[in-house]
């Protein structure tokens, strides 16, 4: 048997000029997609407030909060001055998630946690209005990199 080669060719863009021009456009140019993302995020937050949240809703909120933090890291003009509030919102989501898992998938915010989560969601909406496609791609790569390097804090610490 032959040894498997480690060489993997990098993917090449078929139309690099279109890719660069698309990266300079605001994210809101894809109106239907961004409206769906906003609706999904706000419905997840609403279901947590109403007490009907599932793990899927928690995953949506975690993704939105992680993208909010990553956009701050990618570009300082996208809310780096709000980094303390974003961290507080992430901490609130983490404690609520752990408490919810311990109570048998019953996810509810306390008053202070809800205020922090609402603040982060407002920051996220403002970031979506002002960021470009390239900045969003970089932010998503940051989130993926954090997951790969195990920098993300797990809500559930399982032993199995």
Name the residue with tokens 């993917």.
11
In this prediction, residue 127 carries a pLDDT of 92
Residues 22-80: pLDDT tens digits? 888 888 787 888 889 999 999 999 999 998 988 899 999 999 999 999 999 998 888 88
Q: What percent of the chain has pLDDT over 90?
A: 46
Distance CA 78, CA 74 (A): 8
Helices 83-102 & 55-74 angle (0-180, nearest 10): 160
Residues 94-119: pLDDT tens digits? 999 888 888 888 888 888 999 999 99
In this prediction, residue 160 carries a pLDDT of 37
138 burial level (CB within 10 Å; 0-12, 13-18, 19+): middle
In this prediction, residue 158 carries a pLDDT of 45
- If you average pLDDT over residues 120-135, what whole number do you get? 91
In this prediction, residue 9 carries a pLDDT of 87
Residues 2-26: pLDDT tens digits? 778 888 888 888 888 887 888 888 8
């Amino acid at each position: 048997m032959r040894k498997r080669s480690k060489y993997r060719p990098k993917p090449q863009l078929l139309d690099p000029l279109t890719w660069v021009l698309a990266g300079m456009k605001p994210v809101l140019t894809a109106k239907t997609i961004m409206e769906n993302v906003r609706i999904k995020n706000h419905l997840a937050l609403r279901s947590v407030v109403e007490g009907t949240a599932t793990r899927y809703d928690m995953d949506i909120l975690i993704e939105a909060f992680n993208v909010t933090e990553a956009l701050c890291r990618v570009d300082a003009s996208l809310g780096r001055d709000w980094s303390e509030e974003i961290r507080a919102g992430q901490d609130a989501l983490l404690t609520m998630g752990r408490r919810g898992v311990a109570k048998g998938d019953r996810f509810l915010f306390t008053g202070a946690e809800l205020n922090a989560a609402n603040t982060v969601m407002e920051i996220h909406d403002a970031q979506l209005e002002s960021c470009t496609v390239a900045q969003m791609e970089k932010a998503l790569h940051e989130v993926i990199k954090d997951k790969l390097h195990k920098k993300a804090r797990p809500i559930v610490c399982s032993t199995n």
